[in-house]
Amino acid sequence: MLIEEVVDSISRAYTWPPRDPISQRPPAAEIRQQLVKPVPAGLLASAAGKYRFETISVDIYARRNRLFIHWPSNGEAEIFMVDARRAFCPPLTFSDVGSPWLTFVDDSGRVGSILAGDDAGLKFSRVD
C-alpha cells in the first residue's frame, strides 16, 4: 500500500496521466523475523544447479559461502537458511511461487529437488 501512495504522489507532482487502480496485491505469506544460520558446506556444493517446475526454470548457485537464486522473471536474490534444509528468500513472495519458503531435498548426497511454497506444494526438479 505504501508503494501505491508513493506512485500516486509522484504522478500528481509530475502530472502523469491517470492510471487504473492496482489490482495485484502481494500474497499473504507470513514472514516473521528468522534466525539465519550459515549455509552448510555440503549444501553449498550439492545445491548449485538448474531446477524446473512446469515452465519455470531457476538457477541456484553459491558465492562466498552463500546461496543465491536466479529467477528469470524476478532477478537474483540471496537464499537464507533457517535449518539444515529449510530456507527462505523474501523476494520469492512476489514471484510465481507467492511464498518465500524453500526446502532442499537431498537425493543420494546431492540436492535433487527443491520444494517451494508455504505448504512445499511446488516441486522444482533438478534438470542439469
* pLDDT, tens digit (0-9, with 9 covering 90-100), for 44-84: 989 999 999 988 899 999 999 999 999 877 788 999 999 88
Note whether residue 9 is domain-resident. Answer: no
CA distance 103 to 84: 9
pLDDT of 27 strictly over 60: no
Which CATH number goes with the domain that contains 108? 2.40.128.600
- Taking each continuous run of H as one helix and of E as one strand, the counts in the chain are 2, 8
Region 1-17: mean pLDDT is 78
The total number of residues written for the chain in this structure: 128
Does residue 3 belong to any structural domain of this protein? Answer: no
Please give the residue that has the higher pLDDT: either 96 or 78.
78
The domain of 67 spans 36-126
Total domains in the chain come to 1
Q: Check whether 110 has a pLDDT greater than 60.
A: yes
Does position 24 have pLDDT exceeding 50, yes or no? no
In a domain, 89, yes or no: yes
Is residue 6 one of the residues assigned to a domain? no
Percent of the chain with pLDDT over 70: 88
Question: In this structure, what C-alpha cell is assigned to residue 4?
Answer: 501505491
Q: Are 29 and 98 in contact (CB under 8 A)?
A: yes
Residue 74: inside a domain, yes or no? yes
| In-domain check, residue 12 | no
* pLDDT for 85: 84
Please indicate, yes or no, if residue 8 is contained in any of the structural domains.
no
Expressed in angstroms, the distance from the first to the final Cα of the chain is 40
Average pLDDT in the chain: 83
pLDDT at 102 over 90: yes
